[in-house]
A and B are shown apart, each in its own frame.
Chain A
């Protein structure tokens, strides 16, 4: 379905929704177990995401300790009843830091996905609907974003504008808008050939109206799927940048900086790096599972590969 050739066929086949029914129609005995496994996975992912979001969002209230309070009397404590996940080299509580760090990481990731989605989505829909020079320029820019690995692009950008939380969000959005643009452009290309767009045009509907009332509502489900799948990618990218010292700045923790900080102590105090790493992996994994589930539900013809 992802059409990147720029062709505008006049008659476009409506994608047949295959795949959705696979789970609802009676499945063969062999497939039944994978069906339950899937349900279980989604349930698990939902729990992880909910716990992480609640714990991070309310970290100021829920965290057992102040995440940036140094306590030189309790450095490098292993996990115990007092400090469930141990303490770091400055005696700061790891659990509290993971919660606070998650707050920063998730806030950055959600804002960046939102920005990337809105920018990329609008560019894609307009490029697909209007075509012409705008389309050509937008798609070449998207090619540039795709050609450069996100980390390198982000490194260059942070190097250019300096690192602050605001810049981090901008950089992450700039490194992720193109996927939205491409997928939504191809959806728009097929939508604009559909009967209802044709009819709207013949009733003198303005381009703005067609885009707002006919195109956008019909690409919304794809947008949601893309955004869910993108969250994980952006969390990882944010962690990578923070790990490299280009993201969230100390003393505020983020999952990436915590993993980086713990590297020096991996042998004496594995918990400093490992716990934030595990939480990061669990969150990203769960995000992807939910994204896949959303795709199966909302937009089964969308390919996860781009």
Chain B
């Protein structure tokens, strides 16, 4: 087994928020008690609907946002040093790629300067000639023409912009990339190119990825392991094949059926994602779960280990695995599991 390069333990983020006319104070739990490991050179895919806390998790791992509680270790070292600051060595080791290549590149900076910014600010390379040399290497690596260095972002297409963002991210030779929805702003045809580029770079430089997406097909294409998030919690987490082929949580099954093109097999899902300000009692998913039972509304299920390294937070995970989901929706569930 590869040792855990990134190790996240019981990470929680609570935001104090003010609600309503009267300015009542409340606590919004964006991420709750999340733990996972990423092996060196591996990809961990974080999937979930909008508002499930994916970006918040990424920001805490990057040290862009302090965690309310819990810890992050990278390469065995704690992310935060004793002074409560991000360890400078670790910060240099990881780089983010953001979702929207239209706001993540300054419109008034030419591509060359966008790419070499981390090299300048972290003083990794000095001298205009050396910087230009490195920029030209990086442009090659991400498949952009050399003359792109003097262009401005508005002269580039979405896909090209995201290549610039990737070149910038790998410029300081990081070992860990946090990819927050790296392709969701792009056309489907371009998505595949960018994902393949990311895969190539990963194998060339032995990069470790945390990949965030609401798109199960993107996550399944890229990842070695997958965590399915809902309202700030993991519903199911484990090796990719286990989570996708032998899902043991209704939410994963619903995401899968929503992603599949096979119309008739779609599982029913009712309503909107509940507000994280007033999460449901018991299992956070019970309000929308087609298999919901009495116990689901009262008792919150813990993540429990299945047979093949996957964990599922469902009272009926065992039954689902055994192919006999509880209650009246049995036929529906077996239908979905057949795939």
Listed in ascending order, the chain A residues whose CB lies under 8 Å from chain B are: 14, 194-196, 198-206, 209, 213-214, 217-218, 220
One digit per residue, 1 when the CB lies within 8 angstroms of any chain A CB and 0 when it does not, for chain B 79-96 equals 000000000100100011
Provide the bound-state CA to CA distance between A270 and B295, in Å. 94
The answer on a CB contact under 8 Å between A201 and B106 is: no
List the A side residues contacting B96 at CB < 8 Å: 199, 202
Give the complex CA separation of A225 and B62 in angstroms: 38
B168's partner among A14, A199, A217 (CB-CB below 8 A) is A199
Q: Is the CB of B98 within 8 A of A198?
A: yes
- Decide: A204 and B91 in contact? CB cutoff 8 A: yes
Q: How far is the CA of A217 from the CA of B102 in the complex (A)?
A: 17
Q: Are B121 and A209 in contact, CB atoms less than 8 angstroms apart?
A: yes
Complex alpha-carbon distance, A14 and B153, angstroms: 16
Partner pick for A200 among B63, B107, B117, CB 8 A cutoff: B117
Give the residues in chain A near B33, CB-CB below 8 Å. none
Of the candidates B62, B103, B106, B108, the one whose C-beta lies within 8 Å of that of A202 is: B62
Task: Give, as a whole number of angstroms, the nearest-CB distance from B51 to chain A.
Answer: 12
Query: Are B106 and A203 neighbours in the complex by a CB distance under 8 Å?
Result: no
Interchain CA distance A214-B106 in the complex, whole Å: 7
B122: interface (CB < 8 Å): yes
Q: In the complex, which residues of chain A have a beta carbon less than 8 angstroms from the beta carbon of B103?
A: 14, 194-196
Minimal beta-carbon separation of B111 from chain A (angstroms): 12
- Between-chain CB contacts (< 8 Å), 27 pairs: A14-B102, A14-B103, A194-B103, A195-B105, A196-B103, A196-B105, A196-B106, A196-B109, A199-B96, A199-B117, A199-B168, A201-B64, A202-B63, A202-B95, A203-B172, A204-B88, A204-B91, A204-B121, A206-B121, A213-B106, A213-B109, A214-B106, A217-B106, A217-B108, A217-B109, A218-B106, A218-B108
The dominant DSSP class at the A interface is helix
> At the interface, yes or no: B104 with Cβ under 8 Å from chain A?
yes
The reply to whether A195 and B104 contact each other, CB–CB distance below 8 Å, is: yes
What are the residues of chain B within 8 A of A202 when measuring CB–CB?
62-64, 91, 95-96
Q: Is the beta-carbon distance between B121 and A195 smaller than 8 angstroms? A: no
B239 at the interface (CB under 8 A from A): no
**B residues at A contact (CB < 8 Å):** 62-64, 88, 91, 95-96, 98, 100, 102-109, 114, 117-118, 121-122, 168, 172
Given A198-B64, A217-B106, A203:B117 Cβ within 8 A: yes
A265 → B minimal CB distance (Å)? 54
Report the nearest A residue to B122, measured CB to CB. Answer: A204
| A92 CB, nearest partner CB in chain B, Å | 50
Per CB-CB distance, the 8 closest pairs between chain A and chain B, nearest first, are A195-B104, A217-B108, A203-B118, A196-B106, A205-B121, A195-B103, A195-B98, A203-B121
CA of A201 to CA of B122 in the docked complex: distance in angstroms? Answer: 11
Q: In angstroms, how far is the closest chain A Cβ from the Cβ of B80?
A: 15
Q: How far is the CA of A213 from the CA of B108 in the complex (A)?
A: 9
Can you name the residue of chain B whose Cβ is closest to the Cβ of A210?
B121
> How distant is B59 from chain A, measured CB to nearest CB, in Å?
9
Interfacial chain A residues near B121, Cβ < 8 Å: 200, 203-206, 209
Q: Report the separation of the CA atoms of residues A150 and B104 in the bound assembly, to the nearest whole angstrom.
A: 40
Determine if A218 and B98 form an interchain contact, defined as CB atoms under 8 angstroms apart. Answer: no
Minimum CB–CB distance from A16 to chain B (whole Å) comes to 11
Determine the distance from Cα of A220 to Cα of B107 in the docked complex, in whole angstroms. 12
**Cα separation A195 to B107 with both chains bound (whole Å):** 11
Which residue, B114, B118, B172, has most C-beta atoms of chain A within 10 A?
B118
Give the CA-CA distance A47 to B122 in the complex, in Å. 50
With A199-B117, A202-B63 given, can you name 17 additional A-B contacts, CB distance below 8 Å? A14-B102, A14-B103, A194-B103, A195-B103, A196-B109, A199-B168, A200-B117, A200-B121, A201-B64, A203-B117, A203-B118, A203-B121, A204-B88, A206-B121, A214-B106, A218-B106, A218-B108
The answer to whether B122 and A203 touch across the interface, beta carbons within 8 angstroms, is yes
User: A213 — which chain B residues lie within 8 A by C-beta?
Assistant: 106, 109
Q: For B122, list chain A residues within 8 Å (CB).
A: 203-204
A195 touches B109 (CB 8 A): no
Assess the B100–A195 pair: CB atoms within 8 A: yes
When distances are taken between beta carbons in the complex, the residues of chain B under 8 Å from A196 are: 103-106, 109, 114
Task: Kindly state the separation between the CA atoms of A195 and B105 in the bound complex, as whole angstroms.
Answer: 7
Known contacts A204-B121, A205-B117, A218-B107; A199 and B102 CB within 8 A of each other: no
**Across the interface, which residues of B come within 8 angstroms of A200, CB to CB?**
117, 121
Query: CA of A162 to CA of B114 in the docked complex: distance in angstroms?
Result: 50
Closest B residue to A209 by CB, please name it: B121
Minimum CB–CB distance from A126 to chain B (whole Å) comes to 19
Separation in Å of the A6 CB from the closest CB of chain B?
Answer: 14
Chain B, residue nearest A217 (CB)? B108
Give the chain A neighbours of B98 by CB distance below 8 A: 195, 198-199
User: Closest approach, in angstroms, between the C-beta of B107 and any C-beta of chain A?
Assistant: 7
Please give me the residue from chain B that is nearest to A195 by CB atom.
B104
Q: Which residues of B contact A220 (CB under 8 A)?
A: 108
In the assembly, what is the distance between CA of A194 and CA of B100, in Å? 10
Quote the shortest CB–CB distance from B158 to chain A (angstroms).
14
**Bound: A202/B88 CA distance, A:** 10
Closest CB-CB distance, B317 to chain A, in whole Å? Answer: 35
Residues of B with C-beta under 8 A to A14: 102-103
Residue of A nearest to B92 (CB): A204
Q: From A14, which residue of chain B is reached at the shortest CB distance?
A: B103
